[in-house]
Amino acid sequence: MKKEFLTGNEAIVKGVLAVGAEMMAGYPITPTTEIIHYWSEEQTKNENLKFLQTEDEMAAGFATLGGVLAGKKAFTATAGPGNVLMQDPLSMAENMRLPIVLFVNQRGGPSTGTVIYSQQELNLSIYGGNGEGLRIVYSSSNVQEMFDNAIKAFNTAWKYRFPTIVLSDGYSAKTLVEIETYEPKEKNIEIIPSNAYLLNKNKKIGQYVNLRNTYNLEEELHTLLESHQKEFNRISAELIEFESYKTDDAEIVIFAHGIVGASSKIAVDALRKNGKKVGLFRPITLNPFPKNEAKEIASKAKKILVTESSMGQFERLVKNNLYGQTIEIETLLKPAMGISPEEIIKKLQISN
């Protein structure tokens, strides 16, 4: 373990290298571009690392899937309009249970929006594509978590074979801070190996694999999707992660994710100093969502404040998961803008 000064984008590349990533295909887009810079730099030093700058994000995603099919631990990274195009390959990965890893540093939307910051790619990352949202989505709240979740995402993707997305934002991606980096074995993290789907080294002569994502019969696809959903439900308990901060006696619980969660944590401490019983519930896995834990908190508190840099994408997710609870929900929603601890404090000081 060592301390290093890194930006979020550097931390992601350090993380994927630590967990044994072998290939990246990508298309530059702000605020994610530096991931491609650092990876292309790394691959000049190590001939086992593969890199392709593609013509667009669809090519980036499909070339990544090509690498995965050939048995490489491959990943890509994008943002905003690039994430829109990325839904094409993600949808194929979701159908075929291919372990693609995607890093999304959210920028403002819709459309070209703004280039640095937002939390508006939650819907797209979980539910994008013509499918059922069977993707594993992490949300990092700071640069340290961008490193940690990069390692986690590869193991999750290759263990469970669902597309795995790590959400962050351009503020975190471009902030230079000191974090702790480590090799997975220093923390007893076992690295899940990769195997080729096609031309596997154990392939026997006369045995062939024919893979598809198109089905002839409605029943065939229905059966496939049911089995995927069943598996997703089964693994959810193993996967869910969250931070529950000072919620035990909290009368008001802030629900936030990503960097707004970090901001909320500062607000909790400040409000506690003034005697207000406030806590924070921050899902680290947005999908699957820590539903039972959220419900338990909602059953004890008097009020929830949902805050996010979006018009209510996270709020809807929270409400869906709290179905049946009658707790009052307030919101502080600022699409495309950062949310400071002071704003959260102000919101809760005037709130009863």
Partner 1 sequence: MIETSLPKSWKEESKPHKFCPGCGQSLALKILGEAIDEMGLQEKMVYACDIGCSLLSWDMFDVDTIQTHHGRVIPTMVGFKLANPNAITVAFLGDGGGYAIGAQHLVNAAMRNDKITAILVNNANYAMTGGQMAPTTLVNQKTDTTPNGREVSKFGNPIHGPEMIAQIAAEDAYIARTTSNDFDVCKNIIKKALQNQIDGKGFSFVEILSMCPVNWKMNAQESMDFIKNDMVPIFPLGEIKKSN
Is residue 214 close enough to count as binding partner 1 by CB under 8 A? yes
User: Binding of partner 1 at residue 309 (CB under 8 A)?
Assistant: no
20 binds partner 1 (CB under 8 A): no
d(CA 233, CA 227): 10
Q: How many residues in total does the chain contain? A: 352
Burial of 71 (0-12, 13-18, 19+ CB in 10 A): middle
Shortest Å distance, C-beta 36 to partner 1: 15
71 binds partner 1 (CB under 8 A): yes
From candidates 6, 16, 19, 63, binder to partner 1 by CB under 8 A: 63
Residue type, 51: F
Collect all residues with Cβ–Cβ distance below 8 Å to 300 and sequence separation of at least 6: 247, 250
Determine if 91 is a binding residue for partner 1 (CB under 8 A).
yes
Whole-angstrom distance, CA of residue 352 vs CA of residue 348: 7
Size of the site for partner 1 (CB under 8 A): 40
CB 8 within 8 A of CB 77: no
- Looking at residues 21 to 50 of the shown chain, list those that interact with partner 1 (rule: CB under 8 A): 22-23, 25, 50
- Residue from 70, 177, 225, 235 that binds partner 1 (CB under 8 A)? 70
Distance in Å, CB of 67 to partner 1, minimum? 4
Residue 272 near residue 254, CB atoms below 8 Å = no
The least distance separating partner 1 from the CB of residue 294, rounded to whole angstroms, comes to: 36
Of the CA atoms within 13 Å of residue 330, those in its CB half-sphere come to 16
Q: Which is nearer to partner 1, 199 or 237 (CB)?
A: 199
State the Cα torsion 50-55-60-61 to the nearest 10°.
-150
**Considering the rule CB under 8 A, would residue 203 count as an interface residue with partner 1?**
yes
**Does position 176 bind partner 1 by CB under 8 A?**
no
Q: Is the peptide bond before 163 cis (omega within 30 degrees of 0)?
A: no
Q: Does position 208 bind partner 1 by CB under 8 A? A: yes
List residues near partner 1 by CB under 8 A: 22-23, 25, 50, 52, 54-56, 58-60, 62-67, 69-72, 74, 88-89, 91-92, 196-199, 203, 205-206, 208-214
